[in-house]
Chains A and B, each alone.
Chain A
Amino acid sequence: AQKITQTQPGMFVQEKEAVTLDCTYDTSDQSYGLFWYKQPSSGEMIFLIYQGSYDEQNATEGRYSLNFQKARKSANLVISASQLGDSAMYFCAMRDLNNAGKSTFGDGTTLTVKP
C-alpha cells in the first residue's frame, strides 16, 4: 500500500524567503511518480511539479524544486523567493506509474506567507 506523510500541518514564511515543505512516502512499487499540488482557498488543485522514481536529477519548475532523496523516501518541496500568492494548502501525492488508479495524497501543509 502507498502512504504519504506530511508532518507540518502549518508553516509560516516571510515574503521573499525560501521555504521547505516536507513529504515522506512509503510504497512497494518500483515505478512511481511523486507530485506536488497547490490548493488556494478557492479549492481548485494546481499541479506544481513532478518527480519520477527513476529520475536521477531533482525536478525544478520556476521557483519550485523537489528535493528527492530516494533512499530516505522523501520528496520535499522547496519554494524560493516566497510571494504572498503562495499562501495556500500544499499536497504531496504519489502514483504507481503502472496503475493509474493507485494514487495517494497526503493530508497537506498550510503555508502562510507574511508580508
Chain B
Amino acid sequence: DGGITQSPKYLFRKEGQNVTLSCEQNLNHDAMYWYRQDPGQGLRLIYYSQIVNDFQKGDIAEGYSVSREKKESFPLTVTSAQKNPTAFYLCASSIVGGQGPYEQYFGPGTRLTVT
C-alpha cells in the first residue's frame, strides 16, 4: 500500500537536545512538506521540498532543519534553537505539475514533547 510513514508516533526529549523526525513516502511524489500544529490551531508550514537536494523555508523555519537526499525521505530536525518545540508534526507529500488536483497526502504525525 502506498502512503506516508512517520516515526515515532510519540517522542520525548529533554530541552537542549536536537531531535530528528522521520518521514518516508512511497507515492513517488516530488513535493514533500513539514507542518507544525499546536493545540486547537491550524497547520503552519515549516519547510517544503519540490525536488531532491533542494528545499525552501516555510513560514516558521527558525529552529528547524531538513534534508532531501532521496525522493522518498524528508527528515526534519528540531534543534535546540527552537524555543517552543512541543507540538504535533505532520509530514505530507503531493504531486507537482500536471493537471492536479494536487491534494496533499499526510502521514499519521509525530507528537513531540520537550521538557
Q: Footprint of B on A, CB under 8 Å?
A: 4, 33, 35, 37, 42-47, 50, 52, 91, 93, 95, 97, 100-101, 103-108
The 3 residue pairs across chains A and B that have the minimum distance between CB atoms: A50-B101, A45-B106, A105-B42
Determine how close the nearest CB of chain B comes to the CB of A25; give it in whole angstroms.
13
Q: Judge whether B100 and A97 touch: CB under 8 Å.
A: yes
Determine how close the nearest CB of chain B comes to the CB of A62; give it in whole angstroms.
15
Chain B stretch 14-71: residues in CB contact (< 8 A) with chain A:
30-31, 33, 35, 40-45, 48, 50, 56, 58
Q: Judge whether B90 and A100 touch: CB under 8 Å.
A: no
- Mostly helix, strand, loop or mixed at chain A's interface? strand
**Residue picked from A44, A103, A105, most chain B C-beta under 10 Å:** A103
Tell whether B78 is near chain A: CB-to-CB under 8 Å. no
A42 to B109, CA, bound (A): 9
Provided the pairs A103-B45, A108-B41 are in contact, do residues A47 and B50 lie with their beta carbons within 8 angstroms?
no
A95 to B43, CA, bound (A): 13
Q: Judge whether A101 and B58 touch: CB under 8 Å.
A: yes
* A-B interface contact total, Cβ < 8 Å: 68
A44 to B3, CA, bound (A): 12
**Residue picked from B41, B48, B101, most chain A C-beta under 10 Å:** B101
Q: Judge whether B100 and A43 touch: CB under 8 Å.
A: no
Tell whether B96 is near chain A: CB-to-CB under 8 Å. yes
Q: Which residues of B contact A91 (CB under 8 A)?
A: 42-43
Q: Judge whether A35 and B42 touch: CB under 8 Å.
A: no
Provided the pairs A44-B109, A91-B43 are in contact, do residues A103 and B101 lie with their beta carbons within 8 angstroms?
no
Q: Judge whether B101 and A33 touch: CB under 8 Å.
A: yes
Instruction: Out of B30, B90, B100, B108, name the residue touching A50 (CB < 8 Å).
Output: B100
Chain B stretch 72-114: residues in CB contact (< 8 A) with chain A:
88, 90, 92, 94, 96, 100-109, 111
Provided the pairs A44-B109, A101-B58 are in contact, do residues A50 and B41 lie with their beta carbons within 8 angstroms?
no
Q: Judge whether B96 and A52 touch: CB under 8 Å.
A: no
Q: Which residues of A contact B94 (CB under 8 A)?
A: 100
Q: Which residue of chain B lies nearest to A91 when distances are taken between CB atoms in the complex? A: B42
Q: Jot down 5 A-B pairs with beta carbons below 8 A, ordered by A.
A: A33-B100, A43-B88, A43-B90, A97-B102, A101-B48
